[in-house]
Amino acid sequence: KFITQVTKALGVIEAQAPQELSSIKQYIGRIKQSQRSGMVSDDIPPTFELADKTAFHSVTWCAGSIAHDAYHSKLFDDYVKLHGETGHDSDWTLQKEEKECLKYQLKVMKKINAPAKEVRYLESRDGSHYDVDKDGDYDWDDYNKRNW
C-alpha cells in the first residue's frame, strides 16, 4: 500500500512537473516507510523516511512532501560541496532552510494542481515547524515529538 502511494505521488510529479522529478531523483536515492518523516541526507543513498500520516494524507501531499525533503537534501549537498563538511546548522539556520524547502514544495504543489486547501496551508507556514516543542532549538526531543 505504501509503495503504491509513493509510486502514485511520483507519477503525478512525473506527469505534471517532470523537471522537478529529475531534481528529486538526484537528491533522494531511497524512500523508506518510517514512524516519522524526515530526510537523512548523509545516508548512502540519501534517504527520505516517510511516515504513513504524511504519505496517506493525499497523493498530492505525499508528492509535495517528497519534493520538500528532496530540497533539504539538495541544500545539504550544496553545503557540503561548498564547505567540505557535513554540519551546516551554524551557517544556515534551520528556519531559513525550512522556508526554502516550503517554497520549493509550494512550487511543486502548484504544478501538480494540489487542492487549494493544501496550497493555502503551505502558504501559511513560517518554517518554524521543526521546533516541535517550541523551546528554541532543534534536537531529538523535537524529532521524537513529530506526528508527521
How high is the pLDDT of residue 92?
Answer: 46
Q: Which of 31, 13, 52, 138 lies closest to 40 in space, CA to CA?
A: 31
Contact 108, 22 (CB under 8 A): no
Q: Which of 100, 145, 1 is nearest to 59 (CA)?
A: 1
pTM recorded for the entire structure: 0.89
Number of helices and strands (H, E) in the chain? Answer: 7, 3
**Max mean pLDDT range (6-20, 91-105, 124-138):** 6-20
Average pLDDT over residues 79-83: 86
State the pLDDT at residue 85.
Answer: 72
Residue 55 grid coordinates:
504519505
